[in-house]
């Protein structure tokens, strides 16, 4: 028995909404790219030297000239980025989906941006094609670059609309696709083939592709061929990984991922998306997260290793790595556990906070106008797909508390600001301060649910010209708002909210997860501002 010391990595490694992971290893570091959908900036990047500690990397799509998603509906936007590296350049492929759930067609333009360093500068995006989504780039050892994406056939119905994986050569000098378009893989009998990645090892080409949709039937299928264009024979124990028909597993919905070699070249690691449902439900309020597994190769086929050393195609609860490879022992795991206290003296808080569809410019959000405070100027309503003034961070744990201190003096009912707990525009809980013509300044909880359901809570009068502390406490399925005007005595405010509704499963479609954050609305002049002094996020693992 080996006495080698090991460090246990608990799954998921990136918690809360971190869908569609793509991993690569470059010059002694691992990098993961994740989908962000309508959340801005586009594409989530994380880095690690040991697979244990992950830190955020500035997004490559953080300027409006590079990415503008104004008007895109929920779960449109950035789908399935692919991060790769060749000849001194990082290649980032991504889809900016304009429409996916209206009509039979999907509008899904695919783009490429490159950079000499993971920190950039990233080149202006180049349009490649729009025949399907989930595109990626493969760099062959003969110097050629091959672009692959799933094909969407709007003429068909159901799973047959996922009609296969296309491949075409990419010309680096001309920055465009060239040559013949070929269909190289149609998937397995699981169906709905998407999210393709190509690899080469020991004389074989491998294709890894997501199948089964993004819910509980999700999986990664693998094929191999001696020729790049195929035909690809399926893995003898396909799929490579899935949670399907294993309700006992902690990690459900396993699928859509990619692999890379370890830094020393002796191991292979797979990242994949997964979901942790609320106990007793199928509702993954945390969204689709990123899991890690070790792969071993047997007869030139990849297999997922379980903690007990067995080979099974299910997501492991944890992965062990040699302790001597964990060198970054002083770093904190991304995105952080325990208590995070955000202040607004500088822009450090933005590494965890996101906006919707476009960046918040200085005329909508400022830390300069009142030093030490985040000033949010009233934007469009919380239903808008355009100019919302909202900053939020992902929920990462089933049990957490979020709190902020706000100064806001409305004088019209169309001005309201506060704390929001949301899934998308149709599904959110809002603790807001606003104005009532008879009662004056009031606080209330409003509930927004699908089919234009809008429920207003009781309006409770509060003092004018006095700050208000706003708090959200979530314990698995139960979410309770409370407020205070001295920061000590908090008053719970009805109704008690159902956190499980902030999930893909509640909608039967959609691809994100729950967020909590600050907002300000002024549908009269877009001018009234709210000042936030801090934001606390305290979670239990």
Tokens 């919707």 belong to which residue? Answer: 356
Contact 87/116 with Cβ under 8 angstroms? no
Helix, strand, or coil here: 393? strand
Segment holding 47, helix H or strand E:
strand 44-48
Closest CA to 24 of 257, 356, 307, 364: 257
Distance CA 449, CA 500 (A): 12
20 is catalytic: yes
- Out of 151, 194, 283, 396, which one is annotated catalytic? 194
Distance CA 73, CA 288 (A): 19
Sequence-distant (≥ 6) Cβ neighbours of residue 508 within 8 angstroms: none
Count how many residues are written for the chain.
541
Contact 391/516 with Cβ under 8 angstroms? no
Closest CA to 275 of 540, 16, 9: 16
194 is catalytic: yes
Any idea what the Cα angle at residue 7 is, between residues 326 and 400, rounded to 5°? 100
Closest CA to 374 of 536, 526, 535, 533: 533
Helix, strand, or coil here: 262? coil
Burial class (CB in 10 A: 0-12, 13-18, 19+), 388: buried
Helix, strand, or coil here: 406? strand
Segment holding 146, helix H or strand E:
strand 145-152
Distance CA 212, CA 169 (A): 28
51 Ramachandran zone, left/alpha/beta (phi>0; psi -120 to 50): left
Q: Distances in Å between the alpha carbon of 219 and those of 9, 174, 207, 227, 242?
A: 22, 36, 14, 24, 4
Distance CA 406, CA 404 (A): 6
Distance CA 94, CA 33 (A): 10
Residue 338, both tokens: 């325990």
Q: What are phi and psi of 505, to 5 degrees?
A: -65, -35
Q: What are phi and psi of 445, to 5 degrees?
A: -110, 125
Closest CA to 258 of 185, 206, 335: 206
Distance CA 442, CA 435 (A): 6
Q: Distances in Å between the alpha carbon of 402 and those of 343, 399, 470?
A: 14, 10, 8
Neighbours of 169 (CB within 10 A): 16
For strands 460-461 and 453-456, give the pairing: unpaired
Active-site annotation, residues: 20, 194
């Amino acid at each position: 028995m080996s006495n080698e010391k090991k460090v246990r990595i608990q799954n998921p490694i990136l918690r809360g909404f971190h869908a569609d992971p793509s991993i690569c290893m470059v010059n002694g570091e691992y990098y993961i790219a994740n989908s962000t959908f309508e959340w801005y900036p586009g594409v989530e990047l994380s880095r690690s030297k040991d697979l244990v500690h992950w830190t955020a990397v500035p997004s490559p799509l953080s300027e409006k000239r590079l990415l503008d998603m104004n008007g895109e509906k929920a779960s449109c936007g950035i789908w399935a980025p692919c991060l790769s590296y060749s000849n001194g350049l990082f290649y980032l492929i991504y889809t900016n989906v304009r429409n996916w759930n209206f009509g039979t067609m999907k509008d899904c333009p695919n783009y490429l941006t490159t950079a000499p360093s993971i920190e950039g500068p990233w080149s202006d995006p180049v349009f490649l094609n729009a025949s399907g989504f989930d595109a990626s780039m493969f760099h062959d050892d003969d110097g050629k670059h091959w672009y692959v994406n799933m094909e969407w056939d709007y003429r068909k119905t159901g799973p047959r609309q996922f009609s296969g994986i296309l491949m075409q050569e990419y010309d680096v000098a001309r920055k465009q696709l060239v040559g013949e378009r070929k269909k190289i893989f149609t998937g397995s009998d699981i169906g709905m083939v998407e999210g393709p990645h190509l690899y080469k090892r020991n004389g074989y080409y491998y294709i890894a592709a997501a199948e089964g949709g993004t819910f509980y039937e999700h999986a990664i299928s693998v094929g191999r061929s001696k020729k790049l264009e195929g035909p690809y024979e399926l893995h003898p124990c396909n799929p490579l990984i899935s949670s399907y028909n294993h309700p006992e597993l902690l990690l459900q919905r396993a699928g859509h991922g990619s692999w890379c070699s370890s830094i020393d070249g002796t191991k292979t690691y797979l990242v994949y998306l997964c979901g942790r449902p609320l106990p007793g439900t199928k509702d993954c309020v945390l969204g689709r997260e990123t899991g890690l597994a070790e792969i071993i190769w047997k007869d030139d086929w990849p297999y997922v290793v379980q903690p007990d050393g067995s080979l099974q195609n299910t997501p492991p609860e944890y992965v062990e790595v040699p302790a001597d490879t964990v060198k970054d022992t002083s770093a904190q795991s991304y995105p952080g556990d325990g208590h995070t206290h955000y202040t607004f003296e500088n822009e450090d808080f933005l590494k965890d906070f996101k906006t919707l569809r476009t960046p918040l410019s200085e005329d909508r959000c400022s830390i300069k106008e009142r030093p030490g405070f985040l000033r949010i100027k009233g934007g469009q309503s919380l239903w808008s797909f355009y100019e919302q003034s909202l900053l939020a961070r992902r929920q990462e744990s089933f049990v957490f508390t979020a709190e902020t201190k706000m100064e806001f003096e409305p004088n019209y009912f169309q001005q309201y600001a506060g704390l929001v707990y949301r899934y998308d525009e149709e599904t959110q809980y809002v603790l807001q301060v606003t104005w009532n013509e008879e009662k004056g300044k009031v606080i209330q909880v409003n509930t927004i649910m699908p089919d234009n359901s809008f429920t207003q809570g009781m309006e409770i009068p509060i003092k004018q010209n006095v700050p208000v502390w706003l708090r959200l406490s979530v314990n698995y399925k139960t979410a309770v708002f409370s407020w205070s005007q001295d920061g000590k005595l908090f008053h719970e405010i009805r109704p008690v909210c159902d956190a499980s509704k902030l999930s893909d499963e509640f909608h039967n479609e959609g691809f994100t997860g729950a967020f909590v954050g600050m907002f300000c609305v002024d549908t009269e002049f877009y001018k009234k501002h709210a000042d936030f002094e801090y934001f606390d996020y305290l979670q239990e693992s």
